């Protein structure tokens, strides 16, 4: 039978071992499980009176007042909630929709132009003096009577009006062909496009067709022996053709992702409408439905 002194030594050893495990527990939260919160001093449950248990080797050590917050199983397995439908393109979506509606244009076309021009950066400024979301130049603003065109609202309004103005200037074309000519004129100026149309007639191409005609003729504006004889001289025609192509591709992408109205950002374009995103020069028909 062990002596009282040996029993006291065993008890002290167990106590020291328990305190060592408790110290390790406070340094690491591995293998920790919460028990039912205990009552506070006044009888009400308290977050600081939560009891935690460490189980191992047949021992159960309980520690009160643990400061470690562990997520519940439900919190750990909860699925990530993602919003449904396409997300807004920019902080300016409502302005784009408003001014597109006012000019009878497809808002997705305006958005595609803005992406190409500035990537939705309202403070963008080009070396040629174009400013804002739609990179409006003073000569374009003057063409539609706009004096203020730097702030986002003014810039989108002026850019949309200028697109409408160009659509009337190229009213002999229709549909996708007119859209190509209008975008080319927005990029390089309508005078250069008219020069290219004149050159197209001379070489036997149709001046009111974009893809199979003007997209092939415009690069000739960089050919010195030809363009030097034109009224407005030479221009970067190849860059303009690439510019038009990128906008048309993005416009088609936006048509596939969004409904015809900016308010329909959670709906697809089921009927694939708005084949002509530009207004009729006599009576504008809104593309917003």
Token representation of residue 85? 């439908």
Q: Which residue has the higher pLDDT, 278 or 31?
A: 278
Q: Of 117, 168, 172, 270, which residue is the catalytic one?
A: 117
For the chain, give the number of residues: 289
Does 280 have pLDDT greater than 80? no
User: What domains appear along the chain, each with residue ranges and CATH number?
Assistant: 93-264 (1.10.530.10)
The phi and psi torsions of 222 (rounded to 5 degrees) equal: -100, 0
Confidence of residue 237 (pLDDT cuts 50, 70, 90): very high
Asked whether the beta carbons of 181 and 210 are under 8 A apart, the reply is yes
pLDDT of 208 reads 97
Q: Evaluate the CA torsion angle 210, 211, 213, 217 in order and state its sign.
A: positive
Cα angle value 173/177/183 (rounded, 5°): 100
253 given a catalytic annotation: no
Q: How do residues 213-226 score in pLDDT, each as one tens digit?
A: 999 999 999 999 98
Asked whether the beta carbons of 154 and 146 are under 8 A apart, the reply is yes
Cα angle value 40/46/48 (rounded, 5°): 100
pLDDT of 230 reads 94
User: Residue 103, exposed/middle/buried by CB under 10 A (0-12, 13-18, 19+)?
Assistant: buried
Asked whether the beta carbons of 107 and 101 are under 8 A apart, the reply is yes
pLDDT of 70 reads 59
3-state SS class at 136: strand
3-state SS class at 72: coil
Which residues partner with 33 through β-bridges? 53
Asked whether the beta carbons of 35 and 53 are under 8 A apart, the reply is yes
Average pLDDT, the chain: 78
Give the single-character DSSP code of 48: G
Q: How do residues 2-50 score in pLDDT, each as one tens digit?
A: 555 555 555 545 444 554 544 444 444 444 455 544 444 454 445 455 5
Q: How do residues 180-201 score in pLDDT, each as one tens digit?
A: 999 999 999 999 999 999 999 9
The phi and psi torsions of 30 (rounded to 5 degrees) equal: -65, 145
pLDDT of 276 reads 72
């Amino acid at each position: 039978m062990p002596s009282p002194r040996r029993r006291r030594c065993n008890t002290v050893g167990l106590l020291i071992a328990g305190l060592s495990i408790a110290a390790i527990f406070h340094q690491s939260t591995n293998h920790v499980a919460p028990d039912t919160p205990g009552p506070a001093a006044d009888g009400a449950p308290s977050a600081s009176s939560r009891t935690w248990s460490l189980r191992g080797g047949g021992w159960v050590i309980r520690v009160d007042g643990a400061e470690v917050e562990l997520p519940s199983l439900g919190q750990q397995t909860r699925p990530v909630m993602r919003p449904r439908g396409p997300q807004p393109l920019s902080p300016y979506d409502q302005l784009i929709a408003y001014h597109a509606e006012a000019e009878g244009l497809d808002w997705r076309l305006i958005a595609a132009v803005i992406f190409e021009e500035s990537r939705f950066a309202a403070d963008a400024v080009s070396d040629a003096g174009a400013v804002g979301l739609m990179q409006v130049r003073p000569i374009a603003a003057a063409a539609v009577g706009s004096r203020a065109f730097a702030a986002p609202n003014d810039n989108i309004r002026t850019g949309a009006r200028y697109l409408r103005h160009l659509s009337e200037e190229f009213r002999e074309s229709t549909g996708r062909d007119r859209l190509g000519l209008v975008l080319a004129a927005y990029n390089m100026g309508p005078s250069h496009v008219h020069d290219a149309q004149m050159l197209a007639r001379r070489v036997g191409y149709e001046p009111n067709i974009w893809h199979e005609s003007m997209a092939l003729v415009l690069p000739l504006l960089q050919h010195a022996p030809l363009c030097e004889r034109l009224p407005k001289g030479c221009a970067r025609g190849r860059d303009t053709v690439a510019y038009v192509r990128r906008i048309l591709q993005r416009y088609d992408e936006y048509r596939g992702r969004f409904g015809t109205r900016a308010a329909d950002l959670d709906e697809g374009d089921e009927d694939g409408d708005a084949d002509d995103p530009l207004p009729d020069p006599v009576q504008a028909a809104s593309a917003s439905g």
